[in-house]
Amino acid sequence: MNITKEQIDDLNAVVKVALTKDDYQDKVESILKDYRKQANIPGFRKGQVPLGLIKKQYGKAVLVDEVNKLLQDNLNKYLTEEKLDVLGNPLPKQQDNFNWEADQLDFEFELGLAPSFEVSLNSKKAITHYRIVADKKMVDEQIERFQKQYGKLVNKTVVGKRDEITGTFKNEAEEIDNNTTLEMDKIKSKKAIEGLVGKKVGDVVVLKTKGLLKEDYLLSSTLGISSEKAEKLDIEVTFTIDEINEREPAKLDKELFDKLFGKDIVTSEKELRARIKEDSEKQFEQQADQKLLNDVTESFIENTKFDLPAEFLKKWIQVTGENPLTEEQAKEEYEKSEKGLRYQLIEGKIIQEHGLQVQFDELKEFAKGFIKTQMAQFGHLDPQEEELENIAARVLGNQDEVKRLSEQLMSQKLIKLYKEKANLKIKEVTYDNFVKEVYG
């Protein structure tokens, strides 16, 4: 076997492979002899079929199969040994009227080569790194939510603007008959609020469904209907009041602090405010980091210039999918994927140059932290180490989960690197202003 490379240009090459019968003949003969032992052909006893007949019936297929295996194994080995950084996979060049009986079989493969380029983390134009702060208004609102959540219900005789009303919604034509609790501070319609305030148990109020609630998605559960039906619902419903309650807010005392954070963790309103601010800003940090990662990615793509073997990649896209594409379809696919491919190459270079790796031990710790966060959402705040180890072992036994968690951990490593090395300007904003600036 002889393998040679012809360099077309910096981004394209052709690898030529020449095979002689010595490279594959013994293997082909061995397989055909095994076929002969197992062949069941009418007129011949098992194992006694003439080898010539076996060759005539199966020889071409076995030859093609073995040569393809030989090509694949040795081509991959050659690319590795020569340290050729290829994009996609080698594409065999079409050869019409190929003679499989020739003493030498010649094959050619087109290669698309990865470009050579440099990446500078320190861009000329500074990239905004948002630091989202929890302001007094946000802390006050969170404290109010905690007080309401852990407060107690006090029965009332007349509806007020901040009360909770239990009652039944009805509309016979639309088959609505649902008993629920309606919170006054979630009602959007001023007419509905005016219609309810001052009413007593047993009173019936007519309400319009359109624009009734501040959050449209709540209408389906409030009326006991599907979200599809609620989406365009514009009717009148009756609401019969069964019970009126005021939620008396919980006091800001040790009992509430212990319920929220555990015994003696928070001991004063000042500490409570500091803890809420800290916890909120930790949550916001993930959003700010994702924004930073997106912006740095865009900056790299915009400022790191290099060419790609575009024609090769279009051809590769055209022939390697489940269904072959037309040239126009392949061109469209390439244009859609080019930006992502560029960043994959840039990211790969950054990871290599800065020695970023995901070790199994740190992946396991990362998985345990992820599991612990999920468990906390369901009220399991202090899981045992053995429990975390067992769950992590099951999670890391799934290759899809390993890939997903590895990508997340590598993203964290990249963000840490960018914070240390990239040209960033810190901008402190409240969460509301962050949403306005980033999402419009």
User: How do residues 215-259 score in pLDDT, each as one tens digit?
Assistant: 989 999 999 999 999 988 999 999 999 999 999 999 999 999 998
Residue 407 has what pLDDT?
94
Q: Tell me, which fold does domain 2-113 have in CATH?
A: Alpha-Beta Plaits (3.30.70)
* Percent of the chain whose predicted confidence (pLDDT) is above 70: 100
All CATH 3.10.50.30 domain ranges of the chain, comma separated, are: 152-248
pTM: 0.72
Confidence of residue 298 (pLDDT cuts 50, 70, 90): very high
Residue 381 has what pLDDT?
67
Residue 23 has what pLDDT?
93
Of 380 and 138, the structure prediction assigns the larger pLDDT to 138
For residue 18, report the phi and psi dihedrals to the nearest 5 degrees: -115, 120
Are 187 and 214 a contacting pair, CB within 8 Å? yes
Confidence of residue 50 (pLDDT cuts 50, 70, 90): confident
Least confident of 28-42, 182-196, 301-315: 28-42
Are 295 and 128 a contacting pair, CB within 8 Å? yes
Give me the mean pLDDT over the 102-125 stretch: 93
Contacts of 128 (CB under 8 A, 6+ apart): 295, 424, 425, 427
Structure tokens at 48: 């006694």
Q: Write the single-letter amino acid at 307.
A: D
Please list, residue by residue across 86-123, b when 16 or more beta carbons sit within 10 angstroms of its beta carbon and e when fewer do: bbbebbeeeeeeeeeeeeebebebbbbbbbeeebebeb
Q: What is the DSSP letter of 114?
A: P
Place of tokens 């002689």: 20
Are 219 and 228 a contacting pair, CB within 8 Å? no
Alpha carbons 164 and 167: distance in angstroms, whole number: 10
Least confident of 180-194, 203-217, 314-328, 349-363: 314-328
Alpha carbons 346 and 135: distance in angstroms, whole number: 38
CB neighbours of residue 219 within 10 Å: 19
Three-class SS state of 356: coil
Structure tokens at 65: 């199969």
Alpha carbons 376 and 371: distance in angstroms, whole number: 9
User: What pairing do the DSSP bridges indicate for beta strands 86-92 and 104-113?
Assistant: antiparallel
**Which of 341, 329, 348 has its CA nearest to residue 88?**
341
Structure tokens at 370: 């992820």
For residue 328, report the phi and psi dihedrals to the nearest 5 degrees: -65, -45
Residue 377 has what pLDDT?
74
User: What is the CATH number assigned to the segment(s) 152-248?
Assistant: 3.10.50.30
Place of tokens 């999918």: 321
User: What pairing do the DSSP bridges indicate for beta strands 127-133 and 424-430?
Assistant: parallel
Three-class SS state of 12: strand
**Average pLDDT of the residues of the chain:** 92
**Which of 4, 14, 13 has its CA nearest to residue 114?**
13
What is the four-CA torsion angle of 404, 410, 411, 412, rounded to 10 degrees? 120
**What is the tens place of the pLDDT at every residue in 199-224?**
999 999 999 999 999 998 999 999 99
Residue 404 has what pLDDT?
94
* Percent of the chain whose predicted confidence (pLDDT) is above 90: 80
Its sign, for the CA torsion 45, 50, 56, 62, is positive
Contacts of 92 (CB under 8 A, 6+ apart): 107, 108, 109, 110
Quote the Cα angle for 416-341-332, to 5°.
145
Would you say residue 383 has pLDDT above 80?
Answer: yes
User: What pairing do the DSSP bridges indicate for beta strands 12-20 and 2-9?
Assistant: antiparallel
Taking CA atoms, 297 is separated from 77, 202, 225, 271, in Å, by: 33, 61, 44, 39
Q: Write the single-letter amino acid at 118.
A: E
Q: Write the single-letter amino acid at 270.
A: K
**Which of 318, 259, 284 has its CA nearest to residue 112?**
318
All CATH 3.30.70.1050 domain ranges of the chain, comma separated, are: 2-113
Alpha carbons 228 and 232: distance in angstroms, whole number: 8
Q: How many CA atoms lie within 13 A of 245 on its CB side?
A: 16
Taking CA atoms, 67 is separated from 18, 20, 100, in Å, by: 11, 10, 10
Its sign, for the CA torsion 274, 276, 279, 281, is negative
Three-class SS state of 31: helix
